[in-house]
Structure 1
Amino acid sequence: MDENIKILVEDRDGQIQEVEVPTDINLSLMEILKASEYDILATCGGMALCATCHVAVIEGLETLAAASDQELDMLDTLPDATEHSRLACQLRLNQNQEGLHIRILGNLT
């Protein structure tokens, strides 16, 4: 069975690229985006404390695990958060997320 999935990542400039994601190494979406050289601050190191890895899920939201209370609390502090907002540091991808489409929103400051 193929251990990779393909997701679509839209950067802050609206450029969309397909990213191949290994699902057998248990990286967060934030770590995958950083490894793919996307400009993500991840100031808190993936602890759901800074929201610099804020993403909007364009397609595939229903395939993701529900947000934790800690993640929801952090999203509540963001003026641009919507029901499609998630923190990339809190998302672990698996085969169910094939075709996921996200837009990077997190701040760079």
Structure 2
Amino acid sequence: MPQINYVDHSGTCTPIMVPLGDSVMEGAVANGVEGIVAECGGSAMCATCHVYVDPTFSALLPEMGEVEDTMLDLAASERHDNSRLSCQIRVTEALDGLVVRMPESQI
């Protein structure tokens, strides 16, 4: 199982082993990681699972879809070049060690 490293706004890192095929958001919610609200449950309709992906992993992520791109424009915290919705990132072996940082606010 790949390890995903969730870093909250204060800098505290919570490493979680997330099953292959689950989303980064599902891994956070299942393990009580604070900072990912996930109001819509993973349908890319709320932007409350917004994360900043460590640039080292950017090339390993799936291409951003139009819906995700639109929702990130509506996120509560500032959008950056490395912003993604964690519900749209499926965990693969290649993402072992992925670091995602949570913004200051999701709502």
Normalised by the size of structure 2, how large is the TM-score? 0.86
Equivalent pairs counted in the alignment come to: 104
Does residue 16 (structure 1) correspond to residue 13 (structure 2)? The answer is yes
Deviations 1:70-97 (CA, angstroms, capped at 9, x unpaired): 0001112235011100001111010111
Q: Following TM superposition, by how much is the alpha carbon of 1:104 offset from its aligned partner in structure 2, in angstroms?
A: 1.5
Does residue 7 (structure 1) correspond to residue 14 (structure 2)? The answer is no
How many angstroms apart in 2 are the aligned matches of 1:102 and 1:76? 18
More strand per residue: 1
Aligned counterpart for 1:95 among listed residues 82, 88, 93? 93
Aligned residues with identical type, % of pairs:
35
Q: Which amino acid aligns with 2:42?
A: G
Q: Which amino acid aligns with 1:105?
A: P
Q: Which amino acid aligns with 1:56?
A: Y
Does residue 35 (structure 1) correspond to residue 30 (structure 2)? The answer is yes
Is the contact between residue 49 and residue 106 of structure 2 (CA under 8 Å) also seen in structure 1? no
Q: Following TM superposition, by how much is the alpha carbon of 1:61 offset from its aligned partner in structure 2, in angstroms?
A: 1.4
Normalised by the size of structure 1, how large is the TM-score? 0.85
How many angstroms apart in 2 are the aligned matches of 1:41 and 1:6? 20
Superposition map of 1:62-101 within 5 A: 62-78=59-75, 80-101=78-99
Which consecutive unaligned segments of at least 5 residues does structure 1 have? none
Runs of 4+ in 1 over 3 A off after TM superposition: 106-109
Q: Following TM superposition, by how much is the alpha carbon of 1:106 offset from its aligned partner in structure 2, in angstroms?
A: 6.9
C-alpha distance 75-106 of structure 1, shift in aligned 2 (>3 A)? farther
Q: Following TM superposition, by how much is the alpha carbon of 1:57 offset from its aligned partner in structure 2, in angstroms?
A: 0.3
Which consecutive unaligned segments of at least 5 residues does structure 2 have? none
Q: Following TM superposition, by how much is the alpha carbon of 1:66 offset from its aligned partner in structure 2, in angstroms?
A: 0.7
Is the contact between residue 51 and residue 84 of structure 2 (CA under 8 Å) also seen in structure 1? yes
Larger Rg: 1
Is the contact between residue 55 and residue 106 of structure 1 (CA under 8 Å) also seen in structure 2? no
Q: Which amino acid aligns with 1:50?
A: C
How many angstroms apart in 2 are the aligned matches of 1:14 and 1:47? 27
